[in-house]
Every structure is written in structure tokens, then in C-alpha cells.
Amino acid sequence: MSENKHDVSNPLQACNDIFIRPSEVFKALSLKDNWSWVPFILVAVISALPGYLYFGVVDYSWYVDGQLAMAMPDASPAELENTRPAYGSGESAALFALFGAPLSLIIMSAVMGLYYTLVTRNDDKSIHSFFDWYGAQWWFMMPTLIASVISLGLILLIEPGSQVSQSVLSPTSVGYIFSIEQSSSWFSFMSSLRIDSIWVIYLGAICLQQWTNFSRKKSIIIAALPTVIILSVTLLWTISQLD
């Protein structure tokens, strides 16, 4: 009887239990269809709002100046002025964030779904297709909702026309926590170091353990490998840009 109390019976319950009983959620997901639409909608919609609101309140001229200074540090004033129109307006940037954020997540989830499909295809226990692993990615990303909600709260406190670093979009990143300046060569790398990434990796490892015969160690390595590779490449690129 005690086990029935922990059965995950619907996708809304699963969205709550993914934070406290992920193993039970992934066990249920292996038997249910179409549950992943719920986290997909939650993550896609909520992740798009911080960027949309940010470009609605930030001093966009100041923002563009910062972007140009980082992208073209040796450019002449005339070159900078000629490039400025390419950044459009604050309204266009807000719309791009609104639609671009979900699109990038869809593409990233497809790539990661393919990765999980390939690394598990020779496992005897794994019967899951690409679409199963694609759907699982949205459950892995549920912890990012916490960062998005925190970001929303911070942005709602910003006065229109303020000069606020875009690190506010990643409040769980090392860049935001340690107030790394946007002009710093380390800004991009530090912004990519996010606390919630550890949680995402953890959920990936739990799912692998639930859906395959992989050991705990192997599951952690497979779940962490893409993030480690991306961070390593970002770190090497950052170092190469140092004077």
C-alpha cells in the first residue's frame, strides 16, 4: 500500500515529483505516452519570458554599445556606427528572445535526444526511441524553471531604461553570483557555469539508470559528458581571446 502512495499518475503530478522523486517519474514515463508535452510547454514558455522582459526595460543603446565593444574592440567609431543598425531595436530584440529561446531549446533537445538514443541503443534494457529520449530532455530541464522564475522576479524590479547586465537572465550562473562585468573576457564562460546544470545532469543520470542497465557511474558520465565538452570548448575559446 505504501508504494501506491508514490505512484505518479498524471503529468501534472510528475512535474512536481521530478524535483523530489525523479526515479518514480521516469519509471512512469517509460509506461506513459504524451506526458512530455507538459514540461515542454512550461519550459518553452517560461524560459522565453525573462529575455522578452529584459529587452523591454534595459537601455538598449547602452546594451548595443556593450555588445559592439566586445565584438569589435579594435573597430573605429565609424565602423561601430555602421554596424549598430544590425542590432535592430529593443522591440525586435525582445521578439527575437521570445521566439528564439524556445526554438533554441527545441533544437538543443533534439540533439541531446539523438545523443541519448545513440549511447543507449546497444543496451538490452533500453527499448526507448528517439522521441522518448527527446521528450525526456524536457523533464531534465525542469530545474531551469527555478532560474527563469528568479530572473523574472529580478527583471520585474528593474526600472525602464536601466543599464543592467544581461547576466540577470542567468541568476544561477557564476557570472551573476560573482558580478562578472559584461566587458570581461570571462563573462561568457562564467555565465555558462550554472548551478542548475548540476541538477539537469543528475536527472539525466537518474533517467539512464531507470531506463537502462547502466551503472550509476556510467550514467553520470554519459549525462555529464555533453556539458563537460561544451564548457571545455568555451573555456579554451575564452583563454584564446585573452591578451
Give me the mean pLDDT over the 152-177 stretch: 94
Q: How many domains does the chain contain in total? A: 1
Structure pTM?
0.91
Give pLDDT, residue 243.
Answer: 63
Helix, strand, coil percentages for the chain (3-state, nearest 5):
70, 0, 25
8 pLDDT more than 80: yes
pLDDT tens-digit map of 38-84: 999 999 999 999 999 999 999 999 999 888 888 887 788 888 888 98
Give pLDDT, residue 181.
Answer: 87
Give me the mean pLDDT over the 168-173 stretch: 95
3 pLDDT more than 80: no
Model confidence at 218, pLDDT cuts 50, 70, 90, reads very high
Model confidence at 128, pLDDT cuts 50, 70, 90, reads very high
Torsion of CA 226, 231, 236, 238, to 10 degrees: 150
Nine cell digits for residue 218:
556510467
- The residue type found at 200 is V
Nine cell digits for residue 89:
531595436
Q: What domain range includes position 203? A: 4-240
Task: Report the interhelical angle of 22-29 vs 130-140 (nearest 10°).
Answer: 150
| Percent of the chain with pLDDT strictly greater than 70 | 97
Model confidence at 117, pLDDT cuts 50, 70, 90, reads very high
